[in-house]
Amino acid sequence: MVSRHVLGQALAGAKLEHVAVGSGAEALAQIEKLHPSIVLLDLVMPAPDGYQILRILRARPETRDLPVVVLTALDGEDEIAKAFEAGADDFVRKPFKPVELVARVRGQLRLRAAMDALARKEKDASVVLELTQALASNLDFRGILFTVVQRIAQVAKIDRVSIVLVREQENVGYVVAASDDEQLRDLPIDLTKYPEIQQVLTSGEPLVVEDAATHPLMEMVRTSAQGKTNFASLSILPILYEGKPMGVLFLRSRRAGAFGEREVGLCQTIASAMAIALRNARVLQSLRDQTQQVTVARFEAERRMRSLQRYADFFDSSADGIVVIDAEGRLLFSNPKAREITGYEEQDLRGRRLGDIFASDEAAHAHDLRAGFLQGHFPKDVDIRIATRDKRRAVLNVSFASVLREDGAVLCSFRDVTKQREVEAELVKTKDFLQRVIDSSFDAIISADLKGSVILFNRAAERVYGRSSTEVVGTNVRALYPEGTAEKIMRMIRAGGGRIDGLKVDIIDATGAPVPVSFSGALIFEGETAVGSVGIFTDLREKMRMEQRLQQAQEQILAQERQAIVAELAGAAAHELNQPLTSVLNYATLLKRLLAAGTPAAAAAEVIEGEAERMAEIVRKIGKITKYETKSYVGKQKILDLDRASEEVPVAEAVVSERPAAAPSRAPETTRSSSPSVPTERGSDP
């Protein structure tokens, strides 16, 4: 009940007349009674429910095309699909927004109105074609005229239709056919008593009298002795041939305002076709006492004109350019749009060969087309370049068809697609350029739609994955990642506002092996709607190999530095031990000489000398291993400062400093850790 009240308020607010009912039975009764323009139907309602009502409406011929918008609070997609299968045209979920509901209702009403208008146009076109074909036939022309006016009366739903033909410079007209009297032929009438006919013949414009009882033009008719009439409204349409009046199509109805725009337009089209038929059937010549003799050449020209002119009214209103060419390729007819596109006047085109307006490089094409026409080949949607009258080159999309097979005439319809082709060429160039840019990228680029189907796979991606684009495009993007990785990345992209940068992740190559990459990705939008995604992959394998080699090199350098420090330490120790060992050895030798042999002191001196010699041998070996030079200090030399190192750094570290050259020691110089020397004189300083 609340929903019905809200619905009624929404429709009333939009000034849409409506009737609300509470059950399916009431709905069917009201539809049959009121013949509404649209039905708003709740799926859940007292029996019969919405689905049953839909089926009933679609089963009845009178409601088969009635627009139905369903209202539903059901969330299931199956329910919506079921409603559409039953015949719904649209649906609105409850609770609904009044603006949306009104918009959908008006949309369906516009659609129905357009369909009705199209149906009327199709029906009118069918009637025009039917009558045009009848007028062009070779049967009894008097009988055809009666058939035409009778058919017009049926279609336009009016009471009487008649054809009145006139002679030039005379006030007498002849009623040659009337829809309500098949026997009426050439009934003369005094045109001075028909001011409405005289006005139409003078102006050449249609006249519609909505109310004959009040229209000022009918005043003379109303006041005359025969002024009483049963017709409330009338319409008079001129029958013109080459701008000259041949007569009128006179329509009368007992209903006031019976002639709408549709009826007038339909009858005017038929009147125009009738003028051609009357002229070609030589009715006009019979009314002019057949004073003009038709020559064979004239007859042939009229026959051609009759064949083409009956379609002229349709061609003149066409949005496409239309020309008719004969078997020799000469132009017989051109409509206004054709002249607008080419820039030529009608007299300039008539008799000209079709190839004359082709661009110079299309001359061979024109010859091939004419040869194809002779063989019954009429191509469709062919692009042809022409030269317009102002020397502008234009591209036309052309279709050909045979219209007069006995004469070899060909109908050519075309439209100017110059700008469209220029835009298409630019789009192709832009697409090719973007494709080259994508293919030349060092990074792999992969794009997929929201269903996960791969639509782009560039060359770098082929290199990283070891798979060709033809193999991957169209497959699911999940196959390019370890299981679950693609979904995880998409969640991260959505959580990141539609993009993500620098994500370290593994992908799967053609062999199934993981490949480490740096991933950046984003969603692709059309307006504010996401339609796909794109990912850019940077292969990290080479970078990781370089980092590994750099790590190994650093470790090797560190090991070499440690070895160098050990070597320097050993060399420095050998250098520092050289002098004290020399002193110990010299003093031990001196003591051995000064002490009496066999004494304990002499024995101790020998032990000291031996151990000193053994220590000197060790120093010499260290010197050979480290290749440490123990020459005099010259300039600056980096050596290990043991004193400073022992005070300032831990035992595991070595400090290298620059130490200025010292004065030569009193001990003799040794090269490459030579053994301690022995003093040559007693009492000399060691």
Q: Are residues 12 and 48 in the same domain?
A: yes
Look up tokens 């040869």; give the residue: 371
Taking residues 15-20, report their average pLDDT.
82
**Predicted pLDDT of residue 113:** 79
- In a domain? residue 228: yes
Tell me: pLDDT of 324 over 60: yes
Give the CATH number for residue 355.
Answer: 3.30.450.20
Report yes or no on 677 lying in a domain.
Answer: no
Task: Judge if 109 and 147 occupy the same domain.
Answer: no
Q: What is the pLDDT of residues 120-138, one digit of tens each?
A: 666 666 666 666 665 555 4
State which of 238, 269, 287 marks the end of a domain: 287
Domain endpoint, select from 494, 511, 539? 539
Q: Do residues 461 and 537 touch, judged by C-beta distance below 8 A? A: yes
DSSP for residue 424: H
Express each pLDDT in 189-214 by its tens digit.
888 888 888 888 888 888 888 887 77
Assess whether 142 and 279 both reside in one domain: yes
Average pLDDT, the chain: 77
Residue 301 falls within a domain, yes or no?
no
For residue 244, the enclosing domain spans 136-287
Cβ atoms of residues 523 and 491 within 8 Å: no
In a domain, 231, yes or no: yes
**Per-residue model confidence as pLDDT tens digits over 451-501:** 999 999 999 999 899 999 999 999 999 989 998 999 999 999 988 888 999
Residues 319 and 379 grouped into a single domain = yes
Q: The tokens 């697409």 sit on which residue?
A: 431
Strands across the sheet with 68-72, in order?
39-42, 68-72, 90-93
What per-residue confidence (pLDDT) applies to 520? 92
Q: 173 to each of 185, 196, 222, 289, 367, how far by Cα in Å?
A: 12, 13, 21, 14, 53
Distance CA 459, CA 435 (A): 10
Same domain, 150 and 268: yes
Q: Are 460 and 444 in contact (CB under 8 A)?
A: yes
Residue 653, pLDDT score: 36
Question: Residue 611 and residue 622: Cα distance in Å, rounded?
Answer: 17
The CATH number given to whatever domain includes residue 191 is 3.30.450.40
> Residues 164, 262: one domain?
yes
DSSP structure class, residue 414: E
Q: How far apart are CA 452 and CA 447, in angstroms?
A: 9
307 vs 409, more confident: 409
78 pLDDT higher than 90 = no
- Per residue in 33-52, pLDDT (tens digit) is 888 888 888 887 787 888 88
* CA–CA dist 583, 129 (Å, integer): 138
One domain for residues 605 and 520:
no
Residues 530 and 571 in one domain: no
Both 104 and 168 in one domain: the answer is no
Mean pLDDT (whole number) for 252-261: 80
- pLDDT tens digits, one per residue of 529-539: 999 999 999 98
Q: Where does a domain end: 119, 153, 178?
A: 119
Is the pLDDT at 672 greater than 60, yes or no? no
Co-location of 324 and 342 in the same domain: yes
Sign of CA dihedral 597, 603, 606, 608: negative
Do 524 and 561 fall within a single domain? no
Least confident of 204-213, 314-323, 403-412: 403-412
Please give the residue that has the higher pLDDT: either 276 or 609: 609
- Is residue 435 situated within a structural domain? no
Same domain, 34 and 76: yes
In a domain, 631, yes or no: yes
Return the H-helix or E-strand segment holding 313: helix 312-316
Asked if residue 275 is part of any domain, the answer here is: yes
pLDDT value of residue 442: 85
- Report the predicted TM-score, pTM, of the whole model to 2 decimal places: 0.35
Query: What's the pLDDT at 571?
Result: 75
pLDDT confidence of residue 536 = 92
Task: Assign residue 102 the CATH number of its domain.
Answer: 3.40.50.2300
From residue 421, how far is each of 314, 341, 379, 383, 598 by CA, in Å? Answer: 28, 16, 19, 10, 125
Residues above pLDDT 90, as percent of the chain: 9
Q: Which residues pair with 504 in a beta bridge?
A: 518
Question: What is the number of structural domains in the chain?
Answer: 5
- The answer to whether residue 49 is domain-embedded is yes
Task: Give me the percent of the chain exceeding a pLDDT of 70.
Answer: 78
